[in-house]
Chains A and B, each alone.
Chain A
C-alpha cells in the first residue's frame, strides 16, 4: 500500500523540544480543558456524540501504529474493537448468570464505575494477546495479503461470537448502564466520556512516544523497505509483533466501555463496517506519518459524521466517509497534516534559499 506509506517531502523534524512527560502533561491539560467546556455547556447530547468521536480518535491512533508507522494495513480493526466490547459483555454476563457463585457475586459487588476501568484493562490484555497471535499467524504475509488475512480474522471472530450463546449469540446482550454517577454532574455517560478522554490521552502519548523512539525508527525502516531493514539487523518480526500487540490492545481498550454506552450490544454493531472503515479512513485523511494525523482525521471525520447523523441521515455516514477518502487520496495523498507540511516546506524552500 504505497499510498499509505507515502511520506511527505519534508524530512522528519530533528531534535525533540517536548519530552514525553511534558507532552503527557500538555495532552492531559487539553483534555481537562475540553471536558470543562463540555461540562459547562452541560448538554447530554454532547457527551453521547463526543464519546463516539473520542472512541474513533483512539481507534484511528491505534490503527496508525501498525498501518501508518509500519505500513501494514489492518482491515480487522472492528474485530479488536468488538473483542473489547465482548470482554465486558462476558464479564457482566458471568456476574448476572452466576450471581450466586463466589466469582459472580464478587464481580456483582464491584461498582460499575470501577468495573468499566477493570474491563478496559482486561480488554487491553486480551486484545493485545489476540494482536500478538494475529501477528504470529499473518506477519509473514505482506501488503494486500496481510490485509486480507486481518479481514478474515474479523469474519472468523464474528462467526464465533454469533454462535456463542453465553454472550447473547446473534441476539445480542444487554448491559444496564446506571443513570447516576456520584462524582460527576453529567451522570454515568459523562463518566464514560471522561474515561474515553483519558484513553485518548494514553493512546496519543503511546503513539507519539513510539514515533520518537528507536522502536518508531525501526518501524519506519520496515515501512520503507522491510528487506533492507532486516539486512541492517532490525529485528523486523519482533518489531511487527510489538506493533500488532500495542495496536490491538489500544483498539480493544476503546471497545471495552462500548456496551455501557450502547446498552444493548449486537454482533452486527460491534463488528460494524464503520469501525474497520473509519479506523483506516481517519488516519489517511489526517495523515499517517505522525501521531497528530489520526487525531486530526478522527476529530474532523468523527464530528462530521455526528453532525451528518443528526442533520442528513445516519445511513449515509459511510458513503460520506468513502467520498471524502477518495477526495483525499486524490488531492492530498499524505493527508491533511502531510498536505500542510509540504506546503510550508515548499514555501520555505522557494522563499529562503538553502533549505534546512
Chain B
C-alpha cells in the first residue's frame, strides 16, 4: 500500500454515545478512545453492544446522543450525521461480524468491492497485489466463489477486502466467530501483522478474551451496553478479578 501514512495522527474518540434499535436501547453513555497506532480490544460476551459500537462508528446505526470523532491524517472529522459512504471515504474500514462476504461473487470480485469507493479505486492494483502476496490462498482461489471457501480463508478474504480501502482505522468485529481455535489465533496474528505493516489504528470487538488481549494494547469491557471496565494495559486486563467477574458473570 503505497500511501501508508507515518506522520499523521489516526485516532478515534467516542464520547457518551447512546444508541438503540427502535425502542430497544443497545448502548448507554459509551465512551472510549483509540489512539494513533493502538490496538484496542472491545471485550464482552454476546449481546452486550460490541457490534452496535462498530455500526455507530460506521454510520450504520445512528446514535441518539453523544459524539464520535475520527482524526484521519491529523484532521478531525465529526462522524455523527455522516453517511456510511462518507465515513468509508475517510479511510475507516470494517471487517463485519461473521465476515459477511458476498458468497456468490468470486474472491477477486469480493476484493474489488472493498475498493468500490471512487477514492479507493486509484490504488486498486497495489492493494490487490498486496492482498495476494499476504494471503497466498486468496491468489490461488481468485476465481472461486467466496461462499465455497473454508472459514479461515473467508476471514482472510474479509480482512483483504477491508484493506482494499487503504484504511487508516480498521474496525474488526468478532474475527473469531465461527472459526476453529487454531484459525482464531492465526486470524488474530494476521490482524497484528497488518496493523504493524500499515501503522493502522485498530479497534477490535471480540468475545474471545485471551486471544484478543494477545495483541491488544488496551481494552474495554462492555456489559449491557455500557463500558464496565477500562484496562490500561494487557496485563492489567489479564490479572484482574473485576474482569473475571464481569466477563464470566461469576
Interface residues of A (CB under 8 A from B): 5-7, 9, 11-12, 14, 214, 217-218, 220-221, 223-225, 227-235, 356
A231/B96 contact (C-beta < 8 A), A11-B145, A217-B109, A217-B113 known = yes
Asked whether A5 lies within 8 Å of B104 as measured between CB atoms, the reply is yes
Residue of B nearest to A231 (CB): B94
B residues in contact with A217, CB < 8 Å? 109, 112-113, 116
In the assembled complex, the Cα of A7 lies from the Cα of B96 at a distance in Å of: 23
Smallest CB-CB A-B distances: 5 pairs? A233-B88, A7-B104, A228-B100, A224-B102, A11-B106
Partner pick for B116 among A9, A221, A224, CB 8 A cutoff: A221
Interface size of B in residues (CB-CB distance below 8 Å): 28
Asked whether A229 lies within 8 Å of B85 as measured between CB atoms, the reply is no
Asked whether B113 lies within 8 Å of A221 as measured between CB atoms, the reply is yes
12 pairs, A vs B, C-beta closer than 8 Å = A217-B112, A220-B102, A220-B105, A221-B102, A224-B104, A228-B101, A229-B102, A230-B60, A230-B84, A233-B88, A233-B116, A234-B113
Asked whether A11 lies within 8 Å of B143 as measured between CB atoms, the reply is yes
Count of A-B residue pairs with CB < 8 Å = 77
Residue of B nearest to A238 (CB): B85
The reply on B103 being an interface residue by CB < 8 A is yes
- Residues 114-157 of chain B: 1 if any A CB is under 8 Å from the residue's CB, otherwise 0? 10110010000000000000000000000111000000000000
A residues in contact with B106, CB < 8 Å? 11-12
B residues in contact with A229, CB < 8 Å? 102, 113
The reply on B58 being an interface residue by CB < 8 A is yes
A residues in contact with B113, CB < 8 Å? 217, 221, 229, 232, 234
Residue of B nearest to A234 (CB): B116
B107 to chain A, nearest CB (A): 9
Asked whether A232 lies within 8 Å of B104 as measured between CB atoms, the reply is no
Interface residues of B (CB under 8 A from A): 58, 60, 83-85, 88-89, 94, 96, 100-106, 109, 112-114, 116-117, 120, 143-145, 161, 165
Asked whether B104 lies within 8 Å of A220 as measured between CB atoms, the reply is yes
A residues in contact with B103, CB < 8 Å? 224-225
In the assembled complex, the Cα of A12 lies from the Cα of B120 at a distance in Å of: 23
B residues in contact with A11, CB < 8 Å? 105-106, 109, 143-145
B residues in contact with A221, CB < 8 Å? 102, 105, 113, 116
Asked whether A9 lies within 8 Å of B94 as measured between CB atoms, the reply is no
Asked whether B114 lies within 8 Å of A224 as measured between CB atoms, the reply is no
B residues in contact with A230, CB < 8 Å? 60, 84
In the assembled complex, the Cα of A239 lies from the Cα of B26 at a distance in Å of: 29
B59 to chain A, nearest CB (A): 9
In the assembled complex, the Cα of A231 lies from the Cα of B161 at a distance in Å of: 11
A231/B58 contact (C-beta < 8 A), A225-B100, A225-B103 known = yes
In the assembled complex, the Cα of A232 lies from the Cα of B162 at a distance in Å of: 8
B68 to chain A, nearest CB (A): 16
B residues in contact with A214, CB < 8 Å? 116
Asked whether A235 lies within 8 Å of B85 as measured between CB atoms, the reply is yes
In the assembled complex, the Cα of A224 lies from the Cα of B146 at a distance in Å of: 11
Partner pick for A225 among B88, B102, B120, CB 8 A cutoff: B102
